[in-house]
Structure 1
Amino acid sequence: MTSITDFQPGQILCLEHGDTCLYAELIQIVPKNKSRRGWVRPLILKVSPTRDSIASSSVHIDDPTASEQPSLYDLRQGSDLLCPIALFRAALDTEVVPLLTQLAHPKTQTQGDCIAHQQLHRFIHDVCQMHLTTL
């Protein structure tokens, strides 16, 4: 596992919570900060379908790929976040590059900016609630 002291600006990090992953670029680790916070630039929020949402969806059962695809939210036009770096792990190229490629593909239907930022807000709220005592 990568130590937070090994993180470098420009590196892509991942914050996982439940069935959701936030991929973000590390911009800067705040110097002389005992809580080890850093500025990150959100790139992609990947929400994997839960078993409940798959079962309750109206997607045709004969199409196994339709209901199992994660929802991707393009966050590249959003604001930077100040977050505890300890919550992140280094993202692997093999997980990030395919997601960025999907966002660039014309057939990919990403959600609108408003919906994407609502999803990010909900995700950050959930993470904060989970780690309230340690933040």
Structure 2
Amino acid sequence: MTTLVAGQIVFLECRQTRLYAEIIQVLAPRPVGWIRPLAMVSDTQIIALGTELNSATLAIDQPAVPDMLWPLDQLQPALDTEVIPLLATLSAKADGPSSLPTADSHLDQLTVSEFVRWLWVDRQRSP
């Protein structure tokens, strides 16, 4: 297992959708950590989750989606080749619409809580 650290970008994946998040704190005595959701991403759409990217410092400010406590073994580290374009897109969205326009997007009505429900249901079904 890869050691995850605070400040690292990770993702959870379910039903062709990824929830990207930043690790805020790793709780050493238990294999869990606090994560701050940044964006939900599918093949056709990116939804910023109400965080504002401070382009001067490249820091995430003012989270609108609550931080979550999550098992570290379920988090997958995001590659730099995924993170850099994602952060650039989130930064550009600060001046534009909250999501990329698509005609048949399944993310239009998806919330983080629904995504988490999907994830837990799917993981309960898997051996």
Q: Determine the C-alpha separation between the residues in 2 that align with 1:13 and 1:74.
A: 15
> Are residue 29 (structure 1) and residue 26 (structure 2) matched?
yes
Matched to 1:97, the amino acid is I
The residue number in structure 1 matching 2:42 is: 47
Q: Is the 8 A contact 1:44 1:74 kept in 2?
A: yes
The residue number in structure 1 matching 2:75 is: 88
Structure 2, unaligned runs of 5 or more: 52-62, 100-106
Q: Determine the C-alpha separation between the residues in 1 that align with 2:47 and 2:12.
A: 15
Give the TM-score normalised by structure 1.
0.66
| Structure 1 residue 133 displacement after superposition | 7.3
| Structure 1 residue 75 displacement after superposition | 4.1
Structure 1, unaligned runs of 5 or more: 49-68
Give the TM-score normalised by structure 2.
0.70
Whose strand proportion is higher, 1 or 2? 2
Q: Which runs of 4+ in 1 moved over 3 A?
A: 115-118
Percent sequence identity is 29
Q: Determine the C-alpha separation between the residues in 2 that align with 1:83 and 1:133.
A: 19
Q: 3-state SS of the aligned residue for 2:39?
A: strand
Q: Is the 8 A contact 1:45 1:75 kept in 2?
A: no
The residue number in structure 2 matching 1:120 is: 112
Whose helix proportion is higher, 1 or 2? 1
- Let me know the Cα RMSD of the aligned residues: 2.6
